[in-house]
Amino acid sequence: MSPTDTDAYDVVGLGFGPSNMALAIAIDEHNRRAPQESKLRTLFLDRAAEAGWHKNLLFEDASMQVAFAKDLVTFRNPMSEMTFTNFLLEQGRLADFFNRGSMAPLRIEFVAYLRWVAGKLADYVQYSSEVVRVVPRTAGGRITGYEVDIADAIGVRTVATRHLVLAGGLRPVYPEGVRAGARIWHSAEFLERAQTLDADAVRSVAVIGGGQSAAEVIEQMYSRCPNAQIHPVISRYGLVPSDASPYANRIFDPAAVDELFDTAAPVRQAITEAHRNTNNSVVNPETIAALYDIEYRDNWLGANRLHWHRATRVLSAREDYRQAGVQLTLREDLEGQTRQLEVDVAIFATGYQALDPTTLLGSHAAMLCRDEAGRPTARRDYSANTLLPDDAKLYLVGQTEHQHGISATLLSNVAVRAGEILDSILGANAAGRALAATGQVSA
Ligand SMILES: Cc1cc2nc3c(=O)[nH]c(=O)nc-3n(C[C@H](O)[C@H](O)[C@H](O)COP(=O)(O)OP(=O)(O)OC[C@H]3O[C@@H](n4cnc5c(N)ncnc54)[C@H](O)[C@@H]3O)c2cc1C
């Protein structure tokens, strides 16, 4: 398989989630104003069949954990036609949204916005196209481009690109020793799996995890399965509220990325850990209050079905051979004991980890520079540090929390980051042209 000239792109993006949609907006703005020779031939690939966002956790009453203006473009270019505000205007909902008095859109509303943007950028994206392999191209001891293998309905094809932007988002994580099964799910697949249940027949459910998804899944199972006892399993004593206070929120500011990137690694690490409660393993106070109200009401009625397992960890989860139930082994620290819990379904809301570029690069992953912990490292412009000089860049988006800070995997900075990546691409192209003019490596 070898890519043809017609397949040669300036930029290929893996994924068409918010990160790469924001980049597509920035590139589209550039292409509209640039002369023909400076336009960027760009292709985004997404394995999903259509534009979407965390479709299995799209509960109708769930809110975003971010203000509407931290959309795909406002913080970079508030004059863009792709702002969330313009979306509301086009939908005839501008006044209704602001009358609500909340800065946070509903999750279903945010997805509608993403689909609206994706529709406007349809020329840049191919869906049902999974990137399965990436191979760097070299010439004269320098990285000059990438070949990208794409699996789609027809087979596997290869396209060539100068720059490659990996924005594949997050992968669900189970605790060590736990594997998915017919009755062992991750919250990331909740709605799809829940539809297959005979809800009235469910007698017991365990929900493992203490973050926002866990709290939402507890609420969902409590209301969907009226005959079920619900067993939340949390490693802390209680659910911890998310900190959305203004000073803490500054950790998401574009300026914080500069400060965190430039500081010493131990300082960055300490600050990131100190402010994890802005996002990780924490729950929106409104969700906590709603859950507590349910429990309080049902206690009065003598019908409480919530049974908290505090300071508890799952040591193992085993489906019985008929796949009719799950046996959990729990380590209960308060009681200092290990016990068994049998449930019909165990749902792990145990978080995510970022896409690992190693899986796509295979043996070529040796090109990546890594830190002491073995993590690939990136420059401030999110391009990977590579062993060979790179005229062509590999951007690691959402994979560099250890360098760019806590906002790396979140929405807060997608607009500004997209502008930074575009500037970096344009800078690399200009440098390539200058190098070519000296008769060294071609542009
Ligand atoms: C339920 C939930 C709610 C969240 N709410 C918020 C919030 O309110 N605020 C916030 O800031 N953050 C939130 N987050 C964090 C979330 O990761 C970011 O909001 C955002 O989705 C990051 O965008 P992204 O484009 O980097 O990744 P994603 O949105 O995950 O998009 C990645 C895309 O890449 C595609 N893909 C992956 N691998 C391949 C491949 N090999 N080939 C082709 N395509 C591929 C996927 O199909 C997907 O479309 C939430 C996360 C979850 C799970």
What does the DSSP assignment read for 311-346? Answer: TEEEEEEEE-TTSS-EEEEEEETTTTEEEEEEESEE
Domain 177-242+279-348 in the same topology as domain 5-169+355-437 = yes
Taking domain 5-169+355-437, whether its CATH number is 2.40.30.110 is answered by: no
Residue 86 CB neighbour total at 10 angstroms = 18
DSSP code of residue 52: -
Rounded Cα distance, 36 and 195, in Å: 50
Least confident of 68-72, 121-125, 158-162, 431-435: 431-435
**Cα 83 vs. chain centroid, distance in angstroms?**
20
Instruction: Give the Å distance between the CA of 341 and the centre of ligand 1.
Output: 33
> Where are the domains positioned within the chain?
5-169+355-437, 177-242+279-348
pLDDT of residue 440: 66
* Cβ 48 under 6 angstroms from ligand 1: yes
| Model confidence band, residue 246 (pLDDT cutoffs 50, 70, 90) | very high
pLDDT of residue 441: 59
Structure confidence by residue, pLDDT tens digits, 284-298? 999 999 999 999 999
Rounded Cα distance, 76 and 415, in Å: 6
CATH number of the domain at 177-242+279-348, out of 3.40.190.10, 3.40.30.10, 3.50.50.60, 3.30.990.10? 3.50.50.60
* Cβ 14 under 6 angstroms from ligand 1: yes
Residues 54-68 have a mean pLDDT of 94
Rounded Cα distance, 343 and 187, in Å: 16
pLDDT of residue 322: 76
Substitution site in 107, 125, 170, 276 for ligand 1 pocket (most atoms within 8 Å of beta carbon): 170
Structure confidence by residue, pLDDT tens digits, 107-126? 999 999 999 999 999 999 99
The helix (run of H) or strand (run of E) holding residue 352 is: strand 352-354
* Cβ 407 under 6 angstroms from ligand 1: no
* Cβ 18 under 6 angstroms from ligand 1: yes
Query: Does position 192 have pLDDT exceeding 80, yes or no?
Result: yes
Rounded to two decimals, the pTM is 0.95
Rounded Cα distance, 439 and 140, in Å: 12
* Cβ 357 under 6 angstroms from ligand 1: no
Instruction: Give the Å distance between the CA of 169 and the centre of ligand 1.
Output: 4
The average confidence (pLDDT) of the chain is: 95
Nearest Cα to Cα of residue 208 among 352, 65, 312: 312
Nearest ligand 1 atom to the CA of 70 is 11
Residues 309-313 have a mean pLDDT of 98
Instruction: Characterize the bridge pairing of strands 337-343 and 326-332.
Output: antiparallel
Task: Please indicate whether residue 434 or residue 416 has the higher confidence score (pLDDT).
Answer: 416
Rounded Cα distance, 286 and 274, in Å: 22
Substitution site in 19, 60, 407 for ligand 1 pocket (most atoms within 8 Å of beta carbon): 19
Structure confidence by residue, pLDDT tens digits, 371-406? 999 999 999 999 999 999 999 999 999 999 999 999
Nearest ligand 1 atom to the CA of 132 is 41
Which two structure tokens, joined as six digits, stand for 19?
């990160």
Provide the total of helices (H) and of strands (E) in the chain, helices listed first. Answer: 13, 16
CB-based burial of residue 434 (10 Å sphere; 0-12 exposed, 13-18 middle, 19+ buried)?
A: exposed
Instruction: Give the Å distance between the CA of 17 and the centre of ligand 1.
Output: 6
Q: Tell the residue nearest (CA) to atom 37 of ligand 1.
A: 168
Residues 234-261 have a mean pLDDT of 96
Nearest ligand 1 atom to the CA of 51 is 49
| Amino acid in position 396 | L
Query: Does position 21 have pLDDT exceeding 50, yes or no?
Result: yes
What is the chain's alpha carbon radius of gyration, rounded to the nearest angstrom?
24
Largest CA distance in the chain: 83
